Amino acid sequence: MSCDAVPDAFLDARLAGAIDAKLHWHAADIRCDGMRRPDGQGLRVTFTGPQHGKRLTLVFGVAQLAEGASGRAVPVNVTLIREGGRVYGTRGDGKCILDEVRQTELPARASAAAANAPPARRWRIEARGFCLDPARSVGDSRDAILLSTFDFRGQLTWEPDPEPTPSPTG
């Protein structure tokens, strides 16, 4: 998804190791999205942009941050995915920190879902942080990338909570 809800979205990051780069991605050149984590605990924000003619994706998973919440010194798990290449992960949320993170509600937009279903809730998320340990390559722990600093502004979409499934009677 493009960063359509946040036209001033960006990701700035400093990478060292298997990728040595300073990333300066802006909304027009990237895809960004965010959502509730699949386990329902916390959120994750994803940015995909160009890096040496290929795509690089950074995923920030924040287990301790609820919808709409802000915070300081919040642990974050980071995953980096190189197009046609390796996957790197910090393998836990104790190696990287969001110095500061805040969410601001965005206007709701009409949904293609049923007219009586509540709309998805949307948020602008802004954060800055750093990692103390590198993200290591899956399958080769010697290959690593240190994401020493990062700043981002992106979007989150929180789908309505699922309707409880009625239990069978009988």
The 10s digit of each residue's pLDDT in 101-143 is 999 999 876 555 555 667 788 999 999 999 999 999 988 778 9
Tally the domains of the chain. 1
Residue 20 lies in a domain: yes
Residue 167 lies inside a defined structural domain of this protein: no
Q: What is the pTM of this model?
A: 0.88
Expressed as residue numbers, the domain containing 139 is 10-106+119-158
User: Does residue 65 lie in a domain region?
Assistant: yes
Q: What is the mean pLDDT of the chain?
A: 88
Asked if residue 152 has pLDDT above 80, the reply is yes
The reply to whether 35 falls in a domain is yes
Confidence tier at 92 by pLDDT (50, 70, 90): confident
Confidence of residue 2 (pLDDT cuts 50, 70, 90): confident
Name the pLDDT band for 39 (thresholds 50, 70, 90): confident
Range with lowest mean pLDDT among 6-20, 62-76, 89-103, 104-118: 104-118
Average pLDDT value for residue range 72-88: 94
| Higher-pLDDT residue of 5, 62 | 62
Q: What are the structure tokens assigned to 15, written together? A: 């990478």
Does residue 138 fall inside a structural domain? Answer: yes
44 lies in a domain?
yes
Question: Residue 160 pLDDT > 80, yes or no?
Answer: no
In contact, 138 and 89? CB cutoff 8 Å = yes
Closest CA to 77 of 147, 160, 151: 147
Q: Is residue 98 assigned to a domain? A: yes
Residue 31: how many other CB atoms lie within 10 Å: 18
Percentage of residues in the chain with pLDDT exceeding 90? 66
Q: Is residue 2 part of a domain?
A: no
Task: Give the N- to C-terminal CA distance of the chain in Å, as an integer.
Answer: 45
Whole-number pLDDT of residue 1:
55
The C-alpha atoms of residue 3 and residue 155 are separated, in whole angstroms, by 7
How do beta strands 135-137 and 140-158 pair? Answer: antiparallel
